Structure 1
């Protein structure tokens, strides 16, 4: 009897499996092959590239902070709600994941634009959000928030509420239970969610383009700078390729970090 379940698969599946893998990997190899290594440092340190890189990092960090601030309470609410309510809330949180990013940008514009429900009130007070750096952060938060919520909620749901009930029976208050029991249990999911949210925010394009625009130094993030370069404006294509490689390296680093945290969780006594 074979000890591996993989050997039970039909061998004919190997060919389409390898083709699928090649379809995902070979384009990335082609990207790396196009990098002009002799000018790589100059490309990523040009004024336009530094502006786009700095803006992307700053707004992605801010968006990740908002994801933690808003997402952790939402994840706690979902994880500790009844199954029916949790299912509804989870579905609502998942919607931005399946929406085309452009639709998210239109939705934000209709809500916070000058004629929007909230934007109209803000405009009367002299505050304009669209096509500003703040709009970049909002667009990034909109697309990245579900990653943190689902990661934290999944971690909490896996651990259950038994330890919280024990702490409550010993006289611990709600805030002490949150600090000493709930959040430590959610730590693996929280770390994974933070890393994934940051990666999603720094790579955001569609919602940012519609809601924040593409102004160099103000709203032009790395993805927008890359898109602009390949349309014959802004930074050179060499710089665009170099920035693309930086985004690729960031994505790979994120995957390794998340995998590392999930792999360590069982050894800490928390399900991964």
Structure 2
């Protein structure tokens, strides 16, 4: 029972942590690029970034299979590099979680960057600050609360990802079985005690993260 319980928990946290780093890097980059910028097609690009929020998980999983499957160019390239297909691997779970969590990070970070007074950044440029230096020492600190909010929400979303992960990464115990997919299997097998343990762990972790976020916002 102990091994059966902890394996999906540890895997879920590991997947959420790695995807959280990926989402943080991608979210900050694209949010900074898009913030306060006006160009033709911006609405289309932003809609594309936010699409995973409204698409059914099964659709996201299907699209990931099409993009990264063995019949796609990207899938074949990754299989050539890593000597194995990406589907039904630990990295497939990371990719799924990253895709569904990215919109939360992007939107939160962009809101933070848009709230920065442009005069402050322009003054730093006049003083000779490079764009990377300006981003690291001015933009990120001033938008820090929004960035942390996005990071926490993204981690929580990645931790509970189910549909896309089940389709793209599968449900292999000890390899790709996360808490969400483990709950599904436990319920299907009638093992409600184990299902309740996983549900409770997910609720507790998510609650603690969200209460921490609320306390941070209240300061």
Equivalent residues of 1:222, 1:243 under 8 A apart: yes
TM-superposed CA distance for 1:89, in Å, is 2.9
TM-score computed with the length of structure 1 as normaliser = 0.76
1:9-41: CA deviation from partner (whole Å, max 9, x where unpaired) = xxxxxxxxxxxxxxxxxxxxxxxxxxxxxxxxx
TM-superposed CA distance for 1:252, in Å, is 1.7
Query: Is the aligned partner of 1:239 residue 2:194?
Result: yes
| 2:205 alignment counterpart | 250
| 1:220 alignment counterpart | 177
TM-superposed CA distance for 1:228, in Å, is 0.2
Q: Which has the larger radius of gyration?
A: 1
Q: For 2:124, which of 163, 167, 170 is the aligned residue?
A: 167
TM-superposed CA distance for 1:180, in Å, is 1.4
Whole-Å separation in 2 of the counterparts to 1:52 and 1:65: 20
Q: Structure 1 pair 82/195, CA: closer, same or farther in 2 (3 Å)? A: same
| 1:82 alignment counterpart | 38
| 1:191 alignment counterpart | 148
| 2:84 alignment counterpart | 127
| 1:4 alignment counterpart | none
TM-score computed with the length of structure 2 as normaliser = 0.93
The CA RMSD over aligned residues, in Å, is 1.6
| 1:18 alignment counterpart | none
**Structure 1 residue ranges, 4+ long, deviating more than 6 angstroms after superposition:** none
| 1:115 alignment counterpart | 71
Unaligned runs of 5+ in 2: none
Q: Structure 1 pair 192/83, CA: closer, same or farther in 2 (3 Å)? A: farther
Equivalent residues of 1:136, 1:208 under 8 A apart: yes
Whole-Å separation in 1 of the counterparts to 2:72 and 2:209: 36
1:229-250: CA deviation from partner (whole Å, max 9, x where unpaired) = 11017xx320110110111122
TM-superposed CA distance for 1:174, in Å, is 1.5
Q: Tell me the secondary structure at the aligned position of residue 71 of structure 2.
A: coil
Q: For 1:140, which of 97, 110, 116 is the aligned residue?
A: 97
Query: Is the aligned partner of 1:104 residue 2:60?
Result: yes
Q: For 1:204, which of 158, 161, 167 is the aligned residue?
A: 161
Equivalent residues of 1:141, 1:201 under 8 A apart: yes
- More off after superposition, 56-65 vs 74-83: 74-83
1:159-198: CA deviation from partner (whole Å, max 9, x where unpaired) = 2422101111222222221121111112111111111111
Whole-Å separation in 2 of the counterparts to 1:162 and 1:94: 29
Q: Tell me the secondary structure at the aligned position of residue 88 of structure 1.
A: helix
Q: Tell me the secondary structure at the aligned position of residue 48 of structure 1.
A: helix
Query: Is the aligned partner of 1:62 residue 2:18?
Result: yes
Whole-Å separation in 2 of the counterparts to 1:144 and 1:122: 22
- For CA contacts below 8 A with separation 6 or more, give which structure has more relative contact order: 2
Q: Structure 1 pair 61/94, CA: closer, same or farther in 2 (3 Å)? A: same
